[in-house]
Amino acid sequence: MWKGIFPAGLLSLGLASQTSATLLYVSSYAGTVTTLRLTLPDDGSATGAAVTTLENISNSTGCGPNPSWLSLDYSKNFLFCLDEGFNGPYGGVTTFYTGDDGTLDTLDKLDVIQGPVSIAEFGVGGSGLAIAHYSGSSVSVVGFNAEGNLTLLHNETYALEGPGPNPERQEAPHPHEALLDPTASYVLVPDLGADLVRIYQADASTLGLTPIAPLTVRPGSGPRHGAFKVTSDKTYFYLVSELGNTITGYEVTYNENKTLSFDELFYIPTHGEERKLPEKTGAAEILVSPDGNFLIVSSRWEDSFNISNFDPTNSTEIPSDPLITYSIDHATGELTKVQEFAAGGRVPRHFSINADGNLVAVALQGDGRVVILDRDVKTGLFKDYIAYADIEGEVTAAIFREDYHTI
Ligand SMILES: *[C@@H]1O[C@H](CO)[C@@H](O)[C@H](O)[C@H]1NC(C)=O
Ligand SMILES: *[C@@H]1O[C@H](CO)[C@@H](O)[C@H](O)[C@H]1NC(C)=O
Ligand SMILES: *[C@@H]1O[C@H](CO)[C@@H](O)[C@H](O)[C@H]1NC(C)=O
Ligand SMILES: *[C@@H]1O[C@H](CO)[C@@H](O)[C@H](O)[C@H]1NC(C)=O
Ligand SMILES: *[C@@H]1O[C@H](CO)[C@@H](O)[C@H](O)[C@H]1NC(C)=O
Ligand SMILES: *[C@@H]1O[C@H](CO)[C@@H](O)[C@H](O)[C@H]1NC(C)=O
Ligand SMILES: *[C@@H]1O[C@H](CO)[C@@H](O)[C@H](O)[C@H]1NC(C)=O
């Protein structure tokens, strides 16, 4: 959906070089969802004078006090925001209408079980949200209609018979993500507290989730997030575990009886090789690049780099955690490390990649900053920091909206 916007003011200045703009939405525990506008010189037409800018153009407090996650439905111009609701008794889901000018208008808000942290949109035409609730030990399904109105359809709360090997973090089930499989027929929910990936058959017409046999992972590993990769004849699933700081690779089989089987391919440290990491280190986000050739994970509370301050007048270096990139072998699903790159600051809880794969936005929870990284699509290597924005509070997610262009 290409939307051409031609601001008369700019045209009348007779600018020769074109720029294109992309919007980003950023959530923060400070209670805000902020719209940033990233303006880049267009390839081939940049005259050298053009600069990259990342501006805070709009903000909303409509999500509630503790925004934890954002999910965009491009086709309907809906942005869904989760409120973790630290002070309870409920968490929340909000539907925003995304204006082309960056504004976010609240369409509806629904109280849900406390602690929602991730959404998988599913259902015919996009009509349901599967939601993982970390502190509430639950999974729920919320339906929405064409007006963005939200309705609770189902919730399920889990319990443990006893604490897991890490009793501090595994005192209860902690569903950490809801993720749709590539066939849009299953929802997967890594549960950090239970050392399981819960699996459900997802009914696209009724929005029902039917639990099937879960994937059991190593005790104490604390699975957090996952990512799929599909080749012409295989499906791989990569799971990042926060407590164990590991990546597990699986080959997925779709069984005739509508269950999934997982054959473990490897189990490796997040950094690829054994390394002494600070005690508190916690792996966070994982994604496969749009071309399917690379896997990127983030790690937190390492301070494994010192980098130049983003304030050019400040010569004091700042600490940074890493983003770790692997290439994926299509035939075997195996990973080969290609780079560790400083994420741009502390605690990269979330990051996202644009459709072209040449830009990555990193949400740095520890520094209240969003950084845009320039990435070489062919080699998978990060090259540089091309823009940043300071955001009030702990930043929890940063996502691209790319159907917005300007000249
Ligand atoms: C943020 O929101 C407040 C309240 O709606 C508004 O006054 C302010 O101008 C907004 N800031 C930006 C940069 O849009
Ligand atoms: C949709 O939600 C809005 C905001 O909560 C509410 O005013 C409106 O009545 C709802 N519409 C329907 C059809 O439920
Ligand atoms: C969870 O679902 C039950 C019905 O099964 C409902 O009574 C309850 O209100 C739901 N909880 C929340 C917080 O929505
Ligand atoms: C479904 O099929 C798989 C593979 O044949 C088998 O391992 C599993 O036990 C079956 N599950 C059920 C519930 O029948
Ligand atoms: C970063 O700089 C600090 C302060 O000089 C130092 O203590 C720390 O060891 C450095 N970290 C790395 C990874 O070089
Ligand atoms: C320079 O950066 C350091 C590290 O972020 C910070 O502690 C310090 O306050 C900054 N100094 C000024 C003058 O902004
Ligand atoms: C965006 O800018 C507005 C206006 O300066 C400010 O009120 C708001 O706090 C900023 N948002 C963030 C998240 O920093």
96-142 tens-digit pLDDT: 999 999 999 999 999 999 999 999 999 998 899 999 999 999 999 99
Q: How far apart are CA 339 and CA 359, in angstroms?
A: 16
Rounded to the nearest whole angstrom, what is the distance from the C-alpha of residue 207 to the centroid of ligand 4? Answer: 23
339-355 per-position pLDDT tens digit? 999 999 999 999 999 99
Give the model's confidence band at 18: pLDDT under 50 very low, under 70 low, under 90 confident, else very high. low
Give the model's confidence band at 41: pLDDT under 50 very low, under 70 low, under 90 confident, else very high. confident
Instruction: Name the residue of 199, 259, 262 whose CB sits within 8 Å of the most ligand 4 atoms, as the mutation to test its pocket.
Output: 259
Q: How far apart are CA 400 and CA 70, in angstroms?
A: 10
Detail the DSSP E strand segments found in 206-347.
209-216, 223-230, 235-241, 246-254, 260-269, 282-288, 294-300, 305-307, 318-320, 322-328, 335-342
Q: Is 259 in the pocket of ligand 4 (CB under 6 A)?
A: yes
250-301 per-position pLDDT tens digit? 999 999 999 999 999 999 999 999 999 999 999 999 999 999 999 999 999 9
Q: Tell me the domain boundaries of the chain.
A: 19-406
Rounded to the nearest whole angstrom, what is the distance from the C-alpha of residue 59 to the centroid of ligand 7? Answer: 7
For domain 19-406, which CATH number applies: 2.50.20.10, 3.30.365.10, 1.10.1510.10, 2.130.10.10?
Answer: 2.130.10.10
pLDDT at 402: 85
Say yes or no to pLDDT of 16 above 60: no
**Percent of the chain clearing pLDDT 70 (strictly above):** 92
